[in-house]
Amino acid sequence: MQKFNYDKAVAVIKQNHQGPFPKTALVLGSGLGRFGETMEIETVVDYGDIPDFPVSTVSGHSGRFLIGKASGLPLICMQGRMHLYEGYPASKLAIAIRTLRLLGVDTLILTNAAGSMHEDMGPGSLMLIEDHINFSGQNPLVGPNDQRFGDRFFDMSSAYDSELRKGLTEAAQSLGIGLHKGVYVQTMGPNFETPAEVRMFKQLGADAVGMSTVPECLVAQHAGMRVAGLSVITNLAAGIAKHALSHEETISEGSKATATTERLLNRFFADLNAKQMAG
Ligand code: HPA
């Protein structure tokens, strides 16, 4: 596979956005794209304008970087992400995150839509990711190690940063928003799970299941970034739900939780900004 030209990607984005670059990035999951519209947008860069940059093909996801501010915090937002089930080689999922790293981003907030293993964590609930299980059978870091980003072997014992988790927990508390905590398991998709798979995942210690986030977390962790993850529960997982699952439900339930998610993220970003100004 031809090597991705990171220098060119960074140059294109920097040509479009002059001035200081945000240190925090947010990846928006299914149904959450609207958050981007609420930002104070200074620059938009379509993935398609960056040479050889992978573009997302899923409905409900557009594909662009939004650069600006959210609640005062300089932020770069990925509106649209790439998934393994779209058929990209896993290594391509490293591209966006590594481009952000080279632009100076050191803090990555990942959001996703997920199915819940618990009846008392139903559609519309939010779950802070404390840890994950990679059940996708894939890893974006397979292949020659690019030492520019990190070492061949790297630690995953605290993949989701404790300070960021504390910040999100405090933001939720101060707004009176319920925030569950748990383990996210990623499948490759594109199908939703069978009830037997959901029972297995629950026994393995998972609380929510989805088709994204883990590759990005791995790439970011390898590159020494701080990561936080937030799941928007769009449905009870197969077998726990009493009806068939659909992408439409994911999008519509995700959108219903958007207002709460936006409030939570905005408070969190405001706090992060205050901390950065102070320190
Ligand atoms: N399974 C996998 N991915 C998902 C689900 C689910 O139940 N809901 C939203 N994304």
Burial of 82 (0-12, 13-18, 19+ CB in 10 A): buried
**In the structure, what pLDDT confidence band is assigned to residue 56 with cuts at 50, 70 and 90?**
confident
Contact 234, 123 (CB under 8 A): yes
**167-182 pLDDT, tens digit each:** 999 999 999 999 999 9
Check pLDDT > 70 for residue 58: no
Residues with CB under 6 A from ligand 1: 113-115, 192-193, 209-211, 234-235, 237, 245, 250
What pTM was computed for the model?
Answer: 0.96
Determine which residue's CA is closest to atom 3 belonging to ligand 1: 210
Mean pLDDT of 133-158: 97
Q: Which of 83, 235, 247 to mutate to test the pocket of ligand 1 (most atoms within 8 A of CB)?
A: 235
Check pLDDT > 70 for residue 59: no
Mean pLDDT of 105-132: 96
Check pLDDT > 80 for residue 87: yes
Residue 45 pairs in a beta bridge with 65
Contact 14, 102 (CB under 8 A): no
As a whole number of angstroms, the distance between CA 241 and CA 244 comes to: 8
User: What pLDDT score was predicted for residue 269?
Assistant: 97
Mean pLDDT of 251-271: 89
- How far from 115 is each of 121, 182, 193, 245, 255, CA to CA, in Å? 9, 12, 10, 10, 15
Just list the catalytic residues. Answer: 30, 61, 83, 85-86, 113, 211-212, 235, 247
Token match 């779209």: residue? 86
